Amino acid sequence: MRSSERIGGDIKRAELELMTAKAAAVRPAGLTVPQYSALLALSDHPGAPAAELARLCLVTPQTMTTILQNLVAMELVERTPHQWQRNVLENRLTEAGYATFRKADKGAVAVEQKLADAFTPEERAQLRALLQRCSAVLSEG
């Protein structure tokens, strides 16, 4: 099997370009892409524990802990003990965190919009269906 016949390379390259474009889009807000992803998840799930944010962002809990530590240091996120379960820490956006997220989100949405505009609705549905089949096949075994 020659490299030129491998689908994986095309997926990787597209993901790489996506990350590069998104990184450039959220950098003016002072964020990295994983930090933006965490803020996005947090804006949709206020008070979610780190483990839940990790599932939403497709990373491990350890990774999310690292990301949250940096966001707390930047005073964009607050971690407070859960009212009932003392073992759980609730995460919430601060005022500054919400403002920073909105600024970064404009850039990130622009990237997604640019990507979406490159396809007809039919092509878009086709691409997503094919990608979802990739995910399904790969996660089988």
Binding interface with a second copy (CB under 8 A): 1, 3, 5-8, 10-18, 20-22, 40, 44, 58, 109, 111-116, 118-119, 123-124, 126-128, 130-135, 137-139, 141
Residue 92's CB: how many other CB atoms inside 10 A?
14
CB 76 within 8 A of CB 39: yes
Binding partner of 77, given a second copy, DNA, none, CB within 5-8 angstroms per partner class:
none
User: How far apart are the C-alpha atoms of 21 and 16, rounded to whole Å?
Assistant: 9
Binding partner of 123, given a second copy, DNA, none, CB within 5-8 angstroms per partner class:
a second copy
CB 77 within 8 A of CB 97: yes
Interaction residues for DNA, span 55-74 (CB under 7 A): 57-63, 65-67, 70
Minimum distance of a second copy from residue 93's CB (angstroms): 17
Q: How many residues does the chain have?
A: 141
